[in-house]
């Protein structure tokens, strides 16, 4: 449930990026390429890309959302093909693969977030064990300036705007989120036509957002013209028994088809949205979108960190995968 992002265009001599709307100039730095080793985890992933669907417990269904016991892709799994996959294999300390991800830099005034997104691998590195680690720190050794003055925190935000876009398919990330008041991790998508039509006409699909004051709940939301910010269309999913999402890895996914988007956590569907949910407003989700991973600190929705929030905090990503089938070819 994002408030409108500020408008900022990112570019450098090698590439230009249609980044989420921001109010001043943002630069995108391309991380240094690195040699990736083919780990056992990577080989297994190439052989079988699937949701964890055997041990998750179904969440309570919010009003207005439809449900089924597991994500609908399972019946068509044999027909699926990988359009995008990053298993984050590589030496510890390596930056992300620049052929797949771009690093955004800057702050975010419209959400009133407190972090500065740093370049390169300063706050986003591989851990050498098959994970990407996005780290939020309460430090600012480079004296970055934010909308409120000298930035108090640093973090990272990655996108595929210039490297990969997709229309339809199964989109998932397996992640272990951070904990604490003021933390705001997200896995989401924006319309690739952002630079032409702006936000929210571009559309936004929030696959997973968590705010730190709700440690056991995640949100999935659509934003578009006439239903953006606090008026986005979505639902939430809560773990049973008072569990926290920061305690373990979970798989967050959408199954996206013409005129339909279905959200699931660990294979458990918790909402499906169609044009019928928009009360006549425009459905803007039948076109290419790009992926975004970020860890924000503070902001209008989560509130700022307090005395109980410890740093550093980490968003640990096991993999990001996009699959298509014969009915949903790559964009």
Would residue 87 show up in a list of annotated catalytic residues for this protein?
Answer: no
Within 8 A by CB and 6+ apart from 193, the residues are: 18, 202, 287, 288
* 304 phi and psi angles, rounded to 5 deg: -85, 160
Residue 104: active-site member: no
Asked, as a colleague might, if the bond just before 66 is cis with ω within 30 of 0, I would say no
Is the bond into 200 cis (omega within 30 degrees of 0)?
A: yes
160: left (phi over 0), alpha (psi -120 to 50) or beta: alpha
| Residue 95, CB-side half-sphere exposure with 13 Å CA sphere | 22
**How many CB atoms lie under 10 A from the CB of residue 121?**
18
Contacts of 83 (CB under 8 A, 6+ apart): 164, 166, 169, 322, 323, 324, 330
Residue from 209, 214, 243, 282 carrying the catalytic annotation: 209
Give the span between the Cα atoms of 88 and 317, in whole angstroms. Answer: 8
| Spatial distance between the Cα atoms of 64 and 117, rounded to a whole number of angstroms | 36
Please pick, among 204, 243, 314, 323, the residue that the annotation labels catalytic: 204
Closest CA to 247 of 219, 224, 228, 266: 266
Whether residue 167 contacts residue 248, with contact meaning beta carbons closer than 8 Å, is answered with no
d(CA 326, CA 311): 45
Name residues whose C-beta falls within 8 Å of residue 181's C-beta, 6 or more positions apart in sequence. 212, 213, 302, 303, 304, 305, 306, 308, 309
Residues annotated as part of the active site: 204, 209
């Amino acid at each position: 449930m994002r408030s409108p992002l500020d408008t900022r265009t990112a570019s450098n001599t090698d590439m230009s990026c249609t980044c989420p709307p921001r109010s001043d100039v943002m630069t995108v730095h391309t991380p240094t390429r690195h040699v990736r080793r083919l780990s056992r985890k990577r080989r297994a992933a190439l052989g079988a890309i699937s949701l964890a669907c055997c041990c998750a417990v179904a969440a309570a269904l919010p009003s207005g959302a439809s449900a089924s016991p597991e994500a609908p892709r399972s019946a068509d799994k044999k027909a699926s093909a990988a359009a995008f996959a990053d298993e984050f294999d590589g030496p510890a300390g390596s930056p992300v693969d620049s052929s797949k991800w771009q690093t955004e830099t800057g702050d975010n005034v419209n959400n009133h977030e407190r972090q500065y997104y740093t370049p390169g691998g300063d706050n986003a590195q591989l851990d050498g064990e098959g994970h990407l680690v996005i780290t939020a720190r309460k430090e600012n050794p480079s004296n970055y300036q934010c909308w409120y003055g000298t930035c108090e925190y640093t973090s990272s935000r990655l996108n595929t705007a210039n490297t990969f876009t997709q229309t339809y398919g199964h989109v998932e990330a397996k992640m272990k989120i951070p904990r604490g008041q003021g933390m705001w991790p997200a896995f989401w998508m924006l319309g690739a036509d952002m630079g032409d039509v702006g936000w929210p006409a571009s559309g936004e699909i929030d696959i997973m957002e968590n705010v730190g004051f709700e440690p056991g709940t995640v949100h999935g939301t659509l934003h578009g013209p006439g239903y953006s910010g606090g008026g986005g269309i979505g639902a939430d999913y809560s773990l049973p028994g008072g569990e926290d999402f920061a305690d373990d890895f979970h798989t967050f996914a959408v199954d996206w088809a013409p005129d339909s988007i279905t959200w699931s956590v660990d294979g458990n569907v918790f909402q499906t949205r169609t044009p019928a949910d928009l009360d006549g407003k425009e459905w803007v989700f039948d076109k290419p979108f790009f992926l975004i991973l970020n860890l924000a600190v503070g902001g209008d929705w989560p509130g700022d960190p307090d005395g109980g929030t410890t740093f550093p905090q980490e968003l640990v990503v096991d993999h990001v995968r996009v699959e298509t089938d014969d009915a949903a070819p790559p964009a």
